Amino acid sequence: MFQRAIIRPPGSNFVGGLTTAGIGLPIYTTVLQQYERYCVALKQCGLALTRLEPDPDYPDSTFVEDTAVLTARAAVLARPGVPSRMGEAARMRDVLTRFYPELQSIHPPGTLDGGDICEAGDHFFIGISERTNETGAEQLAALLAGAGYTSNYIDIRGMPGLLHLKSGLAYLGDRRLAVVAALANRQAFRDYDLVCPQAGEEYAANCLLVNDHLLVAAGYPAFESLMRDLGYNLIVLEMSEFRKMDGGLSCLSLRF
């Protein structure tokens, strides 16, 4: 069960962040409305929020998940894969030391974004992407192994629509994964029950299981109906403005 989440509200510079989505620029007032509803949802799931100040130096800094990998037995400071975001992880260090007496780090030449890391119980899927390189993935796998976790690699380089692994993958508990069809045939997932969003609803795969609730993005009715049929207690949230910046439900918090 998660007890806490670290969040950082989007600053007025959010519109200047990185994006490959090509679906327009976010409307800042709507960004803030959607963000506050997200925070209310986390509280509804039973989490205590550590709310950081917006960071005027880093327009992407609301996507705090990319700065670290937090588990019950280990915490690893990431090393984001684009130079403009590397300072975000350094600023997260002091925050994390409040909760973790020992903090590991990814070191050069390794790069690693937390959005490429999907925790599935005691196993981790580590995405190798344009942001997380093989060296960073190998470093994380070794650190996780030292804490008693297993892992394997999922190479998503060159796959359209997948900036990060969790852009198309989420753990739903009970050895079940939400996964986009383009990844469903990977050997790493062969022992899991797979739920694939239908064509046109791929963004819905970036859902988020938090204790007794499943957070899902609004606007994907077939996926929402399927999750309800499977017995999940849904919280449906508008994410349109974050999607414009390649963001999703998992990106906006560090949960532990």
Positions of the chain with pLDDT under 50: none
Backbone phi, psi, residue 128, to 5°: -105, 120
Catalytic residues: 164, 251
- Give per-residue pLDDT as tens, 55-106: 999 999 999 999 999 999 999 999 999 999 999 999 999 999 999 999 999 9
Domain assignment of residue 190, yes or no:
no
Asked, for residue 176, whether it belongs to a domain, the answer is no
Residue 8 lies in a domain: yes
**What is the structure's pLDDT at 138?**
98
CATH number at residue 40: 3.75.10.10
On whether the pTM is more than 0.85, the answer is yes
Number of other CB atoms surrounding residue 58 within 10 Å: 22
Give domain status of residue 117, yes or no: yes
Number of structural domains in the chain: 1
pLDDT of residue 29: 98
Cite the DSSP H helix spans in 108-254.
Answer: 134-146, 221-229, 240-243
So what's the pLDDT on residue 183? 98
Q: Across the beta sheet with 208-210, what order do the strands follow?
A: 208-210, 213-217, 234-237
Q: Is residue 197, in this structure, part of any structural domain at all?
A: no
- Structural domain includes residue 226: no
> Is residue 175 one of the residues assigned to a domain?
no
First-to-last C-alpha distance (Å) of the chain: 8
CA distance readout (Å), 132 to 34, 114, 126, 138? 28, 9, 9, 10
Contacting residues for 154 by C-beta, under 8 A, at least 6 apart: 125, 126, 127, 128, 165, 169, 183, 186, 188
Expressed as residue numbers, the domain containing 89 is: 4-165+241-255
Please list, in sequence order, all residues whose beta carbon lies within 8 angstroms of the beta carbon of residue 75, skipping any fewer than 6 positions away.
Answer: 68, 69, 96, 99, 100, 102, 103, 104, 256
199 occurs within a structural domain:
no
